[in-house]
Amino acid sequence: MSTLRAVEAWINEQLPALVEKYQVPGVAWAVLADGEVVDGAAGVLHRGTGVEATADSLFQIGSITKLWTATLVMQLVDEGKLDLDATVQTYLPEFEIGDKDAAARITARHLLTHTSGFEGDIFTDTGVGDDCVEKYLGVLHDVPQLFPVGEQFSYNNAGFCVLGRLVEVLRGKTYDACLREHLFTPLGLTHAATNPYEAIMFRAAMGHVELEPGTGYQPAPIWAFARSNAPAGSMLAMRPRDLIAFAQMHMHDGKAADGTQVLAPGTPARMHAKAVELPDLGLMGTSWGLGFERFDTADGEIIGHDGSTIGQNAFLRIVPEAGVAVALLTNGGDVLSLYQDLYDHVFSALTETSLPALPQPPADPQKIDASRYVGTYSAEVFDLNVSQDDDGRIWIETVPKGLFEELGEQPERKELVFYQDDSLIPAEAERGMHMPHAFLGDDGEGRALYLHIGRAIRRAGA
């Protein structure tokens, strides 16, 4: 039995137990190694209907969509229609944010590397029409600038919506049409959907959420976020094998399986290369390329992206040196623990590269004075209130706002403990995850200016 076939047998044998252990309703997966793909599935697509998950089932890939948007952008670069270092306003004069000077400096490269600096979690619904991404640009006119353009990394969904509009304007067609004509067709995809009207023609997964801790995962109240955010990841759905076809093109220097050149030779390597460093968060890679998340490990380089929508989570990891890619698509539950178990086994069997360990709180965390961190950090969709009680324990309260409040999310309070340097970490895991909280900068009074959790959340009033 080949190593890949042994991996396939292990996943098929272990996955039903892992799905049950981690309360994941359904999962589909695919693995590429030595030019061959194996795939499979376990569980159900919808706990209300009981429809079984299959290898050909469609799951939303969430923010992995950003890799597809980045690829559409780089096709334009290949064709000489776009200069990454020209300002966005060169192509989209209507692009404006609250800081006019910053808006005039932001380039497509800043957007691809999440270094533009403006508030990025803007999920405003501008309708379901083909003009929804165009209308979305008007929503950004008052969005605040959090830090100077290019200063640091801060994950930015809105920036990729702007890139989606840039693609529309330079192609003269909708974002969805660009996906179908410039990626789906040359890649030979057969099970991919840009919207729910297409997804319903396949076996499509429904997301599952736990509205209150301990109540169990139930079908989500909606299937997808607003179409205005499609270029950032609100709509795109596919089977794992089709996601692997996209990854394989990137691994083969832009060539699809049939030899079609989807990206110019050398362009994928430019996209994968390190462009910006991240704070030590452990869960979002160590650096970022042009759209690509990167894990720079002692054993080698891992690239890819994660995706999260309403009750659906997706993971794509590529080990270029080993010629291995793994896609995992899920629809609820403790997905991070499932991801870690599955990828640990696959990587150990097929590569010499180890997946980085998930961050964990120290067994005996030291007591610290948290006065530098205490305060409120405010974003579009939540406020984060950090406090320290008389016993020295540190707490963070998340207060949902905007879309998150509309979706019924409730305020949540959890304890943070010292992690390292200027970082704290939750004492208890949430869906298998301990996300480090990095406190950066100075507000002029010795307090942290930003709370960084992949996004730089600015201190309120500073």
- Are 404 and 382 within 8 A, CB to CB? yes
pLDDT at 253 over 70: yes
pLDDT at 214 over 80: no
Percent of the chain with pLDDT over 90: 89
Predicted local confidence at residue 121, as pLDDT:
94
Quick one: 298 exposed, middle or buried, by C-beta within 10 A (0-12, 13-18, 19+)?
exposed
Which of the residues are catalytic?
Answer: 63
Predicted local confidence at residue 371, as pLDDT:
96
Quote the tokens at residue 115: 């270094």
CA 131 remoteness from chain centre:
24
Give the mean model confidence (pLDDT) for residues 422-446.
91
Give the mean model confidence (pLDDT) for residues 297-320.
95
Quote the tokens at residue 322: 């080993």
> How long is the chain?
462
Give the mean model confidence (pLDDT) for residues 210-234.
91
pLDDT at 366 over 80: yes
Q: What is the value of pTM for the model shown?
A: 0.95
Quick one: 223 exposed, middle or buried, by C-beta within 10 A (0-12, 13-18, 19+)?
buried
Mean pLDDT of the chain: 95
State the pLDDT confidence band at 347, using cuts at 50, 70 and 90.
Answer: very high
State the pLDDT confidence band at 102, using cuts at 50, 70 and 90.
Answer: very high
CA distance 166 to 434: 36
* Structural domains of the chain, with CATH: 1-357 (3.40.710.10), 375-459 (2.40.128.50)
